Chains A and B, each alone.
Chain A
Amino acid sequence: MATAVTHEAHEAHDTHEHVHYTSTGLDNRKVAIWAFIGSECMLFASLISTYLIYKGRSRVGPLPHEIWTSPSGQIFQPILNIPVTSASTFVLLMSSLVMVLALAAVENRGKPGYVGTLLGNSKFWLAATALMGATFLGFQAYEFTSFVHEGLTIKTNLFGSSFFTLTGFHGAHVTAGVLWLLTLLAIDIKRGLTPKDAILVDICALYWHFVDVVWIAIFTLVYLIK
């Protein structure tokens, strides 16, 4: 990949800068990430469809939006905590904005208005995006733990199986995104990301926005619609 080492390797056998020609003018990685996102759409479509097909089919509770009384007379309140998840949703959506600012900082490195300002501080924006992603994951960990305490595990009923699998898959995607952002941050700290490296941030940003968009669908279909 286009790291500093690549340029050293080039110098060894070639003095002129070798730019790879592409038919579309787009970087290969950008085309590939779009194909990957297309495939991921089908992955989440399968998960979300299963959740919706199984909605209301659970034979036992706890249930997402309904009160459930167990045969022994114990009463279970609706399990989804919409205000808390709204807060974590807000954090995740705002992280997309911060991600855009991180990309802009790298793309415009050295331009007036960016030099020496917060706007041009790509390390800050990358760290902020990763932190907001981690905050979302923290909320999810809290949510999962409290559900288990209230008696809902992945084994309890169809709702538990499909809910934990769907949101867990999304959480795993956020985790991968946070690791990706931290890797970019490490590169930025080590040698500084320049406008030439913008593609590295660009593909990460596309992935990050996609994971956000999926959450909008999940939040709407799982949490908001009763």
Chain B
Amino acid sequence: MATTAAAPKFQPVNTDGSYGESGFWSWMTTVDHKRIGTLYLYTALFFFIVGGIEAGIMRWQLALPNSHVVSAQMYNQLFTMHGTTMVFLAIMPLSAAFFNYLIPLQIGARDVAFPRLNAFSYWVYLLGGLFISIPILFKTAPDAGWFGYAPLTTPQFSGGLNIDFWVIGLQILGISSLAAAFNFITTIINLRAPGMTLMRMPMFTWMSFVVQFLLILAFPAITIALVFLLFDRFFGTQFYEIASGADPLLWQHLFWVFGHPEVYILILPAFGLVSEILPTFSKKPLFGYNVMVYSGIMIGVLGFGVWAHHMFAVGMGAVADSIFSLVTMLIGIPTGVKIFNWIATMWAGEIRFTAAMKFAIGLIALFTIGGISGVMHSSPPADTQQTDTYFVVAHFHYVLFGGSIMGILGGIYYYFPKMTGRYMSEKLGTWHFWLTFIAMNLTFFPMHFSGLLGMPRRVYTYDAGQGWEKFNLASSLGTALLIFATSLFVINFLWSRKNGAKAPNDAWGAATLEWSIPSPPPDYNFAQIPIVTSRSPLWDLKHPEMTAGIAHSSPDAMTITDSHAVPMHEETEYKTAKELGIPMPFPTIKPFFAALGIIVMFSGLIFIHLDKFAIAMAITIGGAVLLVGSLYAWLTSPLE
């Protein structure tokens, strides 16, 4: 931190942790990857709470047998929206918040490759998220499960508007994810600081890199599946009409070709965050860096070859079942490698049990339980017993809550000082961790038993006397405790933004580039781009004894093509981009209008089902004009 002598003489640090202008308009027009990351973080946390409330209502209903807090129809909407919200509106965007905030900082870049496209991705996500979430307030939310199986979702079986909102909403959200993925792939390939070779990139950036490839290769499959469904619903095509000879498994195949890589899209960023947290708080470099990279890539590649293990119960035959079973078991190997490498990273380290570290260790423990139950259903005979029971619900909550959410929460505790310049309360953080850890096990562990006792998923209520009562009650009590624990986190988060202890640049004694610049970082990130000579540049600078045994390349030996780059250093002075002569992208509202155009265009379709064809055409054409006009205005105006 700058001392009083070197106090910033230009813009003050705003309360939201940003530099320069603040206020509503500056957020609407921002193209700064850090501010967009902050927007993602707040929006995704909001949707995380919405998804949590939906889960809370379901557990309230299931706490006791034969209770009727909500109707069966409402219950269907709740479980559909809980899944959809948590997957597409909470965990993916929470990861996106970290992609945005961290990737440029970790690779020594001043922004992402396409700053305005980045703003566009966020606006499409926000507007698409509202589009799919608001209908539940009018009791017309999607109600066919987060996987929306056709033919259940065809007009014949789901005639209302509910599924329309789901199909259109997911289509819109897909645009956001794809645009962001092209942006991050380009950023990571092209904007690394001199000397930041691929095999020197921080592990979070590496796992994010793998995830972006999963996104661009998996999302087209669901895009097409949704296009077919959209056409069936609005234009009378036959893709999912069994009476016309359609294949009842077409949707399942297309959906899970996307859906299984999606699972790794959800977990790999959390793996990346944990791989940042563990070395810092163990004061040791990550054990087996290369193998961690390869196993991440391996998980990504194999992730495309296991989709049909979601379909063992449909009767694909022995050959298909065996192959998908085998590949599913294989994928446990790279995942297990990661678990052991994390443990080896901590081995003989100087461990500091901060809140972030506790969540990281929590991930290792809980994800392992979910991973083991995952290998259990990779066996088709076992899976046919477990399919559509609470056992599966227990499994994927251990990997998604115990894995993704624990990792992301750890990431928030870890990076909060970088984002705001202040620490979160460690005391509240410790309470939050232990309550979450206990509550999460209390909620999800009993589901293994209720599942093995035959309790099916997605039932809105159940009769007493089947042995399910005590397990359900335990799960519901656990959920209540989980909601309490999460409210502690929210209090901590909001309170610490202004009142937390002040954090220096290098809040935790970490090794990577993002900690060499002020907290929160200035809008240009790096006044001078550093030359990177190893995987732990900041440890080289501050604790050369720790990294002496590691091979380094000397800056002189490298071909430095960026004449502005300087050897690794710490940056403590605040200067404006103008003073430093760094060109910054102009703020612009055009990406917002382009995103709005997409939403308006798709919303028009809803009116087709309300039998107002003229209005539908007017809205769709209006939206298309807004989209194309904004795109032209955007692409013909200068970036910086």
Residues of A at under 8 Å CB distance from B?
1, 3, 5-6, 8-10, 13-14, 18, 21-26, 28, 31-32, 35-36, 38-40, 42-43, 45-47, 50, 53-54, 57-60, 154-155, 157-158, 160-162, 165, 169, 183
Contacts and interface: CB of A to CB of B under 8 A. Distances in A.
Interface stretch (B145-153, B183-191, B378-386): B183-191
B250 A31 contact: no
Q: Name the residue in A3, A13, A23, A42 with the highest tally of chain B Cβ atoms < 10 Å from its Cβ.
A: A23
Contact of A21 (B244, B246, B564): B564
Contacts of A47: 224
Contact of A9 (B114, B581, B640): B640
Contacts of B231: 154, 161, 165
Interface stretch (B161-169, B268-276, B588-596, B631-639): B631-639
Nearest to B218: A42
A158 B220 CA distance: 21
21 contacts: A5-B638, A6-B638, A10-B583, A21-B194, A22-B190, A22-B191, A23-B190, A28-B113, A31-B113, A39-B216, A40-B220, A42-B217, A43-B220, A46-B221, A46-B225, A47-B224, A50-B250, A53-B247, A157-B244, A158-B245, A160-B237
Interface in B187-213: 189-192, 194, 196
B227 interface: yes
A94 B298 CA distance: 41
Interface of B: 113-114, 178, 181-183, 185-186, 189-192, 194, 196, 216-221, 223-225, 227-228, 231, 235-239, 243-247, 250, 254, 257, 529, 561-562, 564-565, 578, 581, 583, 632, 635-640
Contacts of B254: 46, 50
Contacts of B219: 39
Nearest to B215: A39
A158 B246 contact: yes
B474 to A, nearest CB: 43
B640 A58 contact: no
A196 to B, nearest CB: 15
B182 A54 contact: no
B513 to A, nearest CB: 14
B259 to A, nearest CB: 13
A23 B192 contact: yes
A6 B189 CA distance: 24
Contact of A31 (B186, B243, B583): B186
A170 to B, nearest CB: 13
B238 A155 contact: yes
Nearest to A45: B220
A24 B581 CA distance: 24
B216 A162 contact: no
